Amino acid sequence: MAFKYRMFNAPSPWTIERAASLGLNWVIVHSMGTRGDMERRDPASGRKADPFPIYFEDYPKVAGIRRNQDAVWIEPLRREVSALCDRAKNLGLKVAFHFYEIALPHVFESEYPEIVSVWRRPTQEGVKLLHSCMNPDNPAAWELIRSKYAEIARTFPQMDMAIISTWDGGGTDWCVPKADMPIWERLAKQVEAAREGVKSVRKDCTVCFRLWGRNWPSNLYRDGHRLIEEVTGLKNATEYMEPVARACNDPDIILPKVFARLPKDVPIMYKSTRMDIHDAQPLTLALGKYPKSREQILEISYELYHQKPWPWCKAKHIRAGLEAAAKHKLTGFLALPINMGNNDRTVQPETGNLGRMNTWILESLLKGDRRSDAELVAAWLQKEYGAPQPKVAVDVLLGADDLVDKGLQWGNAVWVRAPFSSLHTMKLYWMYDGFVDPEFPCEMANPKKETLERLIEMKRRAHERAMECLAAIEAARGAMHPDLYKELSAGFSTMAQYISLARDWQSYILMQYGIERGVYEPSRKNLGRMSRYAESFIRNLAALKDTTAGKMAIGKLSFPDPFPLT
């Protein structure tokens, strides 16, 4: 496929080598800025570490601390990243760095509090601290951004592109402060400041604007907080819920202004899906709607599918993304086998469970392979195990995406962020993640018995389907390679067990919600049915507590919640 940008997220020597073998021409070698990265400690020094391989030389109080106390981990990080850059260059690949913005080492908050602050965000669970908050009306904030990018460009002269995400992790914070500068100008100015910093060192370096969260359906911004207030009784949902989902951040309103302001040579990058990489995700509604005059790079993600507790492939997702990029005449794509925030240099996406097939499928499609998804999976299995494998192996692998969507999500790619939580918490996410399917939140805000019963039946049927898959795998055992049988049997056993737990708890929650909303009468029969779901969940969880599925569920228990019953 003839794209100008053929990119791979490749933060390890192995993935850089793989990018070259795929015929790609760009690699992202390092990602920096998520809040989680700021909380880790260097195992050798015990010092708090972050993913920034620079000292921030223009800010002496920060640079002094980092040079005197943190060089023990910064210097190895600099050498490691530089070596990755050199390896990519030697293979003829261009080098990109990725930044979640705004994000800075936390030491800035103590040493330069007049520029970088902590926002004490009120939530229903108490006040949470959000770091790296800056006032967009303060010129010193933009000077710090310019300085950071200039230092990165000086430290790593191999860098050909800086990719800036402004709505993820720290990126929400430009939309938080109450300031005179409008939201669209804050986003555009972030890109401008980074570009000025980079080009003060390297005139030929590109700055790309990554619209991490700007594919979310527009009605999330218009209706999300209102619906949360309706279903929970919260009169201040806008204060307590994700602030970036306020109506003032609606991309339909702000992005045209951002695009008009951005320099013409700034490409934009966005996900191929509407929200994040959940299973059975539909393509983003933004495809074909951004200015055709601007270079556009589509993310095609199958992040860490080799590490899932049950195996399946993402052939459908990868194919849809590549076809969409071609159909809409986009400038390129970014394939992500590894999450942007994951700088683990040991990760090899083609080891692990059967999800390791995905990069091979990507490679085949990039070469113009016209075989169907089923034919590609069958070909990979034959290559992997030395002989053709039973058709059932192909069927269960291709069907798992839908099975997980129906059994562990709400269907139509609506994720269950907190699968074993209280009704109150579940409502919050119905009105947030639920917008991947724009009809779902409205259905749940005004539920009908048919809606709730459909979801309960969907969970029950998904568990039946998982058990049918297991039976089919067992029946084909004699014709199947022993290693393939072992992987499929173990993976689908875990999936079936986990679906059984999700089925019971979420059916209980749906019944509780139906009684609360008057969809079901609080009769002895309905209360007994609801209790049976809870009893089945407890019995199954006790039986599965030492299994992979049981441990996963126990790790996700989030009840009783801390919210007052009022």
Model pLDDT for residues 509-552, shown as the tens digit of each residue: 999 999 999 999 999 999 999 999 999 999 999 999 999 999 99
Looking at the chain, the whole-number percentage of residues with pLDDT higher than 70 is 98
Contacts of 50 (CB under 8 A, 6+ apart): 32, 37, 38, 40, 105, 106
Residue 564, pLDDT > 90, answer no
Q: Could you give the CA distance from residue 405 to residue 495 in angstroms, rounded to a whole number?
A: 12
Q: Of 96, 74, 73, whose CA–CA distance to 84 is shortest?
A: 96
User: Architecture of domain 5-369 in CATH?
Assistant: Alpha-Beta Barrel (3.20)
User: How many other CB atoms are found less than 10 A from the CB of residue 88?
Assistant: 26
Is residue 401 within 8 Å of 312, Cβ to Cβ? yes
- 83-135 tens-digit pLDDT: 999 999 999 999 999 999 989 999 999 999 999 998 888 777 788 888 888 99
Each residue's pLDDT tens digit, 393-424: 999 999 999 999 999 999 999 999 999 999 99
Alpha-carbon span 42 to 48, nearest angstrom: 6
pLDDT digits 0-9 by tens, 69-81: 999 999 999 999 9
> Tens of pLDDT along 20-73?
999 999 999 999 988 778 888 988 888 889 999 999 999 999 999 999 999 999
Residue 1 binned pLDDT confidence (cut-offs 50, 70, 90): low
Q: Hey, which residues does 163 pair with through a beta bridge?
A: 98, 208
- Range 352-357 average pLDDT: 95
Tokens of 13: 């020597």
Q: What is the pLDDT of residue 520?
A: 98
Give the CA dihedral 410, 412, 414, 420, nearest 10 degrees: 20
Q: Is the pLDDT of residue 213 over 80?
A: no
Domain range annotation of the chain: 5-369, 391-408+447-558
pLDDT at 168 over 60: no
- Residue 171 has what pLDDT? 58
Which residue in 100, 96, 87, 138 sits closest to 117, CA to CA? 138
Taking residues 227-238, what's their average pLDDT?
87
Listed residue (36, 301, 52) closest to 170, CA to CA: 36
> Residue type at 434?
G
Using an 8 Å Cβ cutoff, are 15 and 349 in contact?
Answer: yes
pLDDT of residue 127: 84
Per-residue pLDDT band for 172 (boundaries 50, 70, 90) equals low
124-138, 248-262, 464-478: the lowest-pLDDT one = 124-138
pLDDT tens digits for 254-279? 999 999 999 999 999 999 998 888 89
